[in-house]
A = this chain, B = another copy of it.
Amino acid sequence: MTDYSDLRAIYVNCTLKRSPEASHTQLLVDRSVAVMEKQGVTVEQVRAVDIDTAFGVYPDMTEHGWSSDDWPSVQSKVMAADILVLATPIWLGDKSSICTRVIERLYGSSGILNDRGQYAYYGRVAGCLVTGNEDGIKHVAMNVLYSLQHLGYSIPPQADAGWIGEAGPGASYGDPVNGAGTGFDNDFTNRNTTFMTWNLLHLARMLKDAGGIPAHGNQRSEWDAGSRFDYPNPEYR
Residues of A at the B interface (CB closer than 8 Å) are 2, 16-18, 21, 27, 30-31, 34-35, 38-39, 49, 55-57, 65, 91-98, 100-101, 103-104, 107, 119, 121-122, 134-139, 141-143, 145-147, 149-150, 152-160, 162-169, 174, 176, 179-181, 183-184, 186-191, 193-195, 197-199, 201-203, 205-207, 210, 213-214, 216-218, 220, 223, 228-234, 236-237
Contacts and interface: CB of A to CB of B under 8 A. Distances in A.
A211 to B, nearest CB: 11
A195 B21 CA distance: 35
Contact of A236 (B2, B181, B233): B181
Q: How many copies does the complex hold?
A: 4
A166 to B, nearest CB: 5
B147 A152 contact: no
A237 to B, nearest CB: 6
A131 to B, nearest CB: 9
A138 B149 contact: no
A210 to B, nearest CB: 6
A153 to B, nearest CB: 6
Of listed A34, A92, A174, A191, residue having the most chain B CB within 10 A: A92
A198 B223 contact: no
A92 B103 contact: yes
